[in-house]
Amino acid sequence: MEPLPDLKTTSDEELRDLIARLVQEEHEVSYRRRILHGKIDILKAELQSRLKEQVGDGESPLYEVDVDRLAAILASRAAPPNPSE
């Protein structure tokens, strides 16, 4: 990101041009952000659909969760799991 010019020595026309350029850049960034959010929404919807199918087929996305260990951790009776185990 480029720094702002010396505002005391910048002409009115240069300021207008800079504002216009930055507004255009902001529009481009905003457009890109909206595209990314759309893609994220589509991917989340697909994941949610797959999880619903698994549950509907009798599977649970939580089938690997050790409920007893999780309960002990939440009750502060056990140390948190070591990610390297």
Per residue of the chain (85 residues), give pLDDT as tens: 788 888 999 999 999 999 999 999 999 999 999 999 999 999 999 998 888 887 777 766 666 667 777 777 777 765 656 666 6
- Asked if 78 and 72 count as a contact pair (C-beta separation under 8 A), the reply is yes
Q: How far apart are CA 36 and CA 42, in angstroms?
A: 10
Instruction: Write down the pTM of the prediction.
Output: 0.55
Q: How far apart are CA 23 and CA 78, in angstroms?
A: 54
Q: How far apart are CA 80 and CA 16, in angstroms?
A: 57
| Side-chain-side CA neighbours of residue 70 (13 Å) | 5
